[in-house]
Amino acid sequence: MKIKLTSVTVKDQGKALKFYTEILGFVKKKEIPVGEHKWLTVVSKEEQNGVELVLEPLAFEPAQVYQKALFEAGIPATAFLVDDINKEFERLKGLDVVFSMQPTQMGPVKLAVFNDTCGNNIQIFQVL
Amino acid sequence: MTYYNSQVLKIRDSYLPKQYLIDRVVKAKQAIDKHYCSEIDLNFISREAFLSKFHLIRLFKICYGQTPYQQITEKRMAKAETLLSNGAGISETCHALGFESQPSFCIYFKKHSGLTPTGFQKKAIPDKLV
């Protein structure tokens, strides 16, 4: 058994694909039409055969409530590892990404949290 | 400030070691990152971090969830697997990781991955003649 997929629920798959590829720099891996939605995944540019992130449509109503509650509390839906958080923070800020937490050290890790514009907070972290 | 931000700060201030100790543990981790391919031991790492060996092991485990030795092993194994997957020979991999002899590398590799370097390479690159 292997961990090959993880997911975030997104309000709009088209908008999410744009954000996750054009702003975050991921690469589209699969886009398969399934009725009114798609099976849509992205991967890290550096690990294109690694774990796929499913940009999952938010059709199930309780999931919308859950996503909204997480978002309002500032809790990240998922987290991505970066090599240099200060550099990534500056790069994303330059692309008008909105942060709810600026780079903050917590033990041997530095964290920052931003809005993915699709209903989620996303955390980036650097292990020092 | 969001609920999450306040929880992060609360956990940091209530449960994690003081910042000056964190800085020393990070120094130890950086020494491992830099020297894991050569023969490093706890004496060297603790000197780099200005911590006693006892405190280093304790604090390192609190910060990174593993001992310095476990971290060195993990990094060496990851490097060995990358080199072998990219077609490097066993002797080349063994020397790149600072092992003095090929048999000791093979025993170490088998102990930590469950496969011999040759077995691992056959699985990773089925077409390679090893």
User: What pLDDT score does B99 carry?
Assistant: 81
DSSP string, chain A: ----EEEEEES-HHHHHHIIIIIT--EEEEEEEETTEEEEEEEBTTBTTSPEEEEEE--SHHHHHHHHHHHHHT-EEEEEE-S-HHHHHHHHHHTTPPEEEEEEEETTEEEEEEE-SSS-EEEEEEE-
Q: Residue written as tokens 């991999």?
A: B93
Q: Which residues of chain B are within 8 Å of residue A47 when distances are taken between CB atoms?
A: none
Nearest chain B Cα distance for residue A34, angstroms: 34
User: What pLDDT score does A1 carry?
Assistant: 93
The model's pLDDT over A5-50, given as tens digits with 9 standing for 90+, comes to 999 999 999 999 999 999 999 999 999 999 999 999 999 999 999 9
Contact B4 A73 (CB under 8 A): yes
In chain B, CATH 1.10.10 sits at 73-124
Considering CB atoms only, which of A74, A105, A128 is closest to B4?
Answer: A74
The model's pLDDT over B43-72, given as tens digits with 9 standing for 90+, comes to 999 999 999 999 999 999 999 999 999 999
- Number of C-alpha atoms within 13 angstroms, CB side, residue B57? 7
Q: Is domain B73-124 in CATH 1.10.10, yes or no?
A: yes
Interface of A with B (CB under 8 A): 73-76, 100-101, 104-108, 111, 113, 121, 127-128
Q: Which residues of chain B are within 8 Å of residue A76 when distances are taken between CB atoms?
A: 4
Q: Tell which wins on pLDDT, A77 or B102.
A: A77
Contact A73 B3 (CB under 8 A): yes
Q: How large is the average pLDDT for residues A85-108?
A: 97
User: What pLDDT score does B108 carry?
Assistant: 85
User: What pLDDT score does A116 carry?
Assistant: 97
The answer to whether residue B88 scores a pLDDT higher than 60 is yes
Q: Which residues of chain A are within 8 Å of residue B63 when distances are taken between CB atoms?
A: 107-108
User: What pLDDT score does A28 carry?
Assistant: 98
ipTM of the complex: 0.90
pLDDT band with cut points at 50, 70 and 90 for residue B124: confident
pLDDT band with cut points at 50, 70 and 90 for residue B129: low
pTM (2 decimals)?
Answer: 0.86
Looking at chain A, how many residues does it have? 128
pLDDT band with cut points at 50, 70 and 90 for residue A115: very high
Contact A101 B25 (CB under 8 A): no
Q: Which residues of chain B are within 8 Å of residue A104 when distances are taken between CB atoms?
A: 5, 8-9
Q: How large is the average pLDDT for residues A93-112?
A: 97
User: What pLDDT score does B38 carry?
Assistant: 86
Q: Which residues of chain B are within 8 Å of residue A108 when distances are taken between CB atoms?
A: 22, 25-26, 29, 63-64
A-B Cβ pairs (cutoff 8 Å, strict): 47
User: What pLDDT score does A29 carry?
Assistant: 97
